[in-house]
Amino acid sequence: MSSTYDSAKQAFADWGVDTDAAIDRLKDIAISMHCWQGDDVVGFETKTGSSGGGIQATGNHPGRARTPDELRADLDFAYAMIPGKHRLNLHAMYMDTDATPDRDEIEYAHFAPWVDWARASGIGLDFNPTFFAHAKADDNLTLAHPDAGIRDFWIEHGRRCREIAAQMGAALGSPAVNNIWVPDGFKDTPVDRMAARRRLEASLDAMFADPLDKAQMLDAVESKLFGIGVEACTVGSHEFYMGYAIRKGTLLCLDMGHFHPTENIADKLSSVALSLDEILLHVSRPMRWDSDHVILLNDDILAMAQELVSADLLGRTHIGLDFFDATISRTAAWVIGVRNMQKALLRALCLPLDQLRKAEDAMDFTTRFTVTEELKDLPHGVIWAEFCARMDVPTGRSLIGELDSYQASVSSRG
């Protein structure tokens, strides 16, 4: 422990904050890092469909992972640069097998190498059915498609993904969150929105018909405001999925990029938590719309972290990231993104919440205002550096050197 940290620790203690306790709390918070940043949402299956739903990685920075082994090597490096133990969020299109099953034929065996790797690495796995980048999704309708045959195809895909996720959770001793997002919607104004939403609801009911052990797998549903090709109507809107999650007892996924730019996602957490047991977050940075930029340590992220801590929701919230940027080093994007989420959580854990609540309950909004502003001057960076030192990961120029060195080693991939 450095004298610099001792001084910073005392500065926080003067406000009634125990930074050692905050560090201990932070090291136990697992963040689910998304596999699709490493290869620009391409996956490892033979497919013919377009991405759909507005999913598009831009840029051609060298170093994209082209195989499961390359992706796992990139992930190993990224995790080594991130303090703490975390999770991997895996999409169904990232199977690791010589077989060529269609989406309605996938099995746990097609993902077994990922489980073996996760077990050896000491991380948990989360999972996602892939309802895009397939010929049977090119209409931008899957579970809500008027064609029953197409709906049945995707229902079977969803069923199999739930079973795969449950087997992953059982193998690793940690429940896998299986998150469902579909790109279903209309480019221009539909005549009958209700019919499409009834089809989506019935398809979800069929997919969830077989109850699975929540100690192994947790179902989640994710809304979206709109995407390219579905500008006029997204069948699975926030209101649709919020009602569905409350009625059916699933997790509700709140993706920061899936709402109107003026909406405050942090404000939604305490509201939905009154009606839901657990929440899934996809933390992203929308610029103009759901453009999935690497997250910054900005006001939106800080507000979300503060709400998670102040509303005591950390134990009920699964935090995952969702961004993809091919204009910069993909591994650096992972590392900086996860660390920014952790930095935001650390700042929230270093708030004197009892003092702030006391002022707020007394309607003393002047004290609440002045205290929150003065706290911004505290040496948060020193506490973060101490956390990284205890977790044996680099910071500052040392981190940049590690990121640059690894990027140079993979640049020949093209």
Annotated catalytic residue within 258, 268, 318, 380: 258
Say whether 258 is catalytic: yes
Burial string for 330-364 (b: 16+ CB within 10 Å, else e) reads bbbbbbbbbbbbbbbbbbbbbbbbebbeebeeeee
Annotated catalytic residue within 36, 181, 334, 384: 181
Say whether 292 is catalytic: yes
Strands 233-234 and 185-186: antiparallel
Annotated catalytic residue within 34, 224, 268, 380: 224
DSSP letter for 136, please: G
What does the alpha-carbon distance between residue 390 and residue 384 come to, in Å, rounded to a whole number? 10
Say whether 181 is catalytic: yes
Annotated catalytic residue within 91, 145, 238, 282: 282
CA angle, corner 234, sides to 233 and 235, nearest 5? 110
103 touches 158 (CB < 8 A) = no
Annotated catalytic residue within 300, 322, 325, 386: 322
143 touches 151 (CB < 8 A) = yes
Annotated catalytic residue within 40, 74, 292, 300: 292
Cβ neighbours around 64 below 10 Å, total: 20
Cβ neighbours around 110 below 10 Å, total: 22
157 backbone φψ class: left, alpha, beta (φ>0; ψ -120 to 50): alpha
In Å, the largest CA–CA distance within the chain is: 68
Say whether 322 is catalytic: yes
| Helical (H) or strand (E) element with 167 | helix 148-172
Please report, to the nearest 10 degrees, the dihedral formed by the alpha carbons of residues 184, 185, 187, 189 taken in order: 170
Specify the long-range contacts of residues 375-381, CB closer than 8 Å, at least 24 apart.
375/15, 375/351, 378/8, 378/11, 378/12, 378/15, 378/350, 379/7, 379/8, 379/11, 380/343, 380/346, 380/347, 380/350
Q: Residue 178: helix, strand or coil by DSSP? A: strand
Helix intervals (H) in 173-234: 193-207
Annotated catalytic residue within 139, 290, 300, 386: 290
Q: Which residue has the tokens 């003092």?
A: 355
What does the alpha-carbon distance between residue 301 and residue 338 come to, in Å, rounded to a whole number? 11
What does the alpha-carbon distance between residue 202 and residue 228 come to, in Å, rounded to a whole number? 25
Q: What are the residue numbers of the active site?
A: 181, 222, 224, 255, 258, 282, 290, 292, 322
